[in-house]
Amino acid sequence: MALLAQTPPMGFNTWNTFGPNIDEKMVMEMADVIVEKGYKDAGYKYVVIDDCWSLRERDEDGELVPDPAKFPHGMKYVGDYIHSKGLKFGMYSCAGIRTCAGFPSSFDHEFQDARTFASWGVDFLKYDFCYFPSFANCQHRYLQMAQALRASGRDILFSACNWGAQEPWNWMRSVGAHMYRSTGDIFDNFNSTAGIAKSQMDKFNANAPGCFNDMDMLTVGMNGIGNVGSGTEANSYNEYEFEFAYWCFCASPLMMGADLRKVDDKYRELLQNPGLIALNQDKEARPPYLVRNENGWTLWVRHLADGEFAIGVFNFADGDRWAEVTFAELGVPVNSGVKLDITDVITGEKVGLKKDDMFFPVRAHSCKIFRAKFVPEKRRRAAK
């Protein structure tokens, strides 16, 4: 079996923009755009169909049935098309009796449904938590679906979605999920983004190759439009940049939620920002460390592969401020004998060699992300 989710999974999910209004034409167009507009080259590969794809009842064999009005050629046809583009195919079910929108889900049908998904060429399963029966054990049911997927004969990434119920950061990795939703649903405004971000600050420690804390699908570029769109309350550019950078810094999966056929160029560029994606996909996949949280002004460090590290400043507060970053707080005190060679991750600009501290402005709801390399201050004499 392939090792899945060695770095945070990246892709597109239908829910944020389309909700129940999904069909094969839209999904296939999205696959086209992911290839044609550079998203695939940037690393995005899963095209995930969320809730509302099936009929309201199973057939006489107990099988899930795609809604013929939405998917007239069935799901394998859609999967084959997605695969023909060099992308991966994702679908959705639920651990409870019904999906959140009331469609049949996989409780007591785990192995049957996993085999069905495998026969359609599914590579990724999002697995939700609505209508979960009070008599059942949540951890055990996620374990059972992980087993069913592994027994299906296909490599299927298991995207568990239990909204943070029963502290999944303590056990989801061990029951076999590759990513797990740790919060309730995101909405396309800064209150929602910031609420989710703050709720997870101390909950990334289980992040490592194979399984990642998933803070929900991105709203970047939605501009207020769609199922979780917030109209005129939508995020500003700075706020979308904050969201994308925070998800990247914390190694959350990057599942885009905007209609990629219509996203403005500036948001397409943000979603494809090479420095931020490299940070998200860092192969050491270490969790971030929160150094300081002072009234919503937060300073973070994250170790990266090859001895580099990232510095993040996220200003959750409603006011602009000058940010002071003293290197002692980063664990590199004045007598360390090293300087830091700093690059701005978002712009790619070289900041240069720094020692002791940095001082720069950070607007409200904005962030600054740097990458740092160690440079010896002077050549050391050989120890006697």
Is there a catalytic annotation at residue 185?
yes
Instruction: Count H helices and E strands in the chain, helices first.
Output: 11, 16
Report, in Å, the least distance between residue 163 CB and ligand GLA. 6
> Rounded distance, CA 376 to CA 367, Å?
28
Report, in Å, the least distance between residue 15 CB and ligand GLA. 5
Of the candidates 50, 51, 123, 128, the residue annotated as catalytic is: 128
Between 99 and 273, name the residue whose CB sits nearer to ligand GLA: 99
Report, in Å, the least distance between residue 325 CB and ligand GLA. 35
Report, in Å, the least distance between residue 157 CB and ligand GLA. 16
Beta strands in 84-191 (DSSP E): 88-94, 124-128, 157-161, 179-181
Between 123 and 128, name the residue whose CB sits nearer to ligand GLA: 128
Between 116 and 159, name the residue whose CB sits nearer to ligand GLA: 159
For ligand GLA, the binding residues (CB under 6 A) are 15, 50-51, 99-101, 128, 161, 163, 185
Between 42 and 100, name the residue whose CB sits nearer to ligand GLA: 100
Of the candidates 185, 341, 344, 356, the residue annotated as catalytic is: 185
Between 128 and 282, name the residue whose CB sits nearer to ligand GLA: 128
Pairing of strands 309-315, 297-303: antiparallel
> Rounded distance, CA 239 to CA 350, Å?
24
Report, in Å, the least distance between residue 270 CB and ligand GLA. 22
Between 81 and 92, name the residue whose CB sits nearer to ligand GLA: 92
> Rounded distance, CA 250 to CA 288, Å?
6
Cβ neighbours around 377 below 10 Å, total = 11
Report, in Å, the least distance between residue 215 CB and ligand GLA. 11
DSSP string, 207-232: -BTTBEEE-----TT-TT-STT--GG
Q: Where are the alpha helices (DSSP H) in 137-213?
A: 138-151, 172-175, 190-199
With beta carbons less than 8 A apart as the criterion, state whether 125 and 155 touch. no
> Rounded distance, CA 332 to CA 326, Å?
9
Catalytic annotation, residues: 128, 185
